[in-house]
Amino acid sequence: MCIGFPGKVLSISEDGFALIDVNGVRREACLDLVDQEVAVGDYVLCHAGYAIHRLDEAVALEKLEFLRELIRNEIY
């Protein structure tokens, strides 16, 4: 099973990589696969080091809460 996680874009480099924050953890994600414009402050859905979709903030926060709930309850 694969899982994507939402992250908030903190910065974007000239070579198309974003530094994202996922629940306090910072990661780098390649923006090459996103078909929409991404800006600092946006949320993106990430998988395997690639941002694959820009998310609405409300949806992203809902998904982050769901992931936290899974971790709290060890439902996976």
Class at the top of the CATH hierarchy for domain 5-73: mainly beta
Rounded Cα gap, residues 27 and 73, in angstroms: 25
Where does the chain have alpha helices with state H? 57-73
pLDDT band at 75 (very low <50, low <70, confident <90, very high): low
Residue 68 has a pLDDT of: 85
pLDDT digits (tens, 9 = 90+) for 14-73: 999 999 999 899 999 999 999 999 999 999 999 999 999 999 999 999 999 988 888 888
Query: Minimal CA–CA distance to 7: which of 15, 24, 17, 16?
Result: 24
Residue 46 has a pLDDT of: 95
What are the residue ranges spanned by the domains of the chain? 5-73
Rounded Cα gap, residues 7 and 63, in angstroms: 10
Please give the model's pTM, rounded to 2 decimal places: 0.86
Q: Tokens 């709930």 — which residue?
A: 69
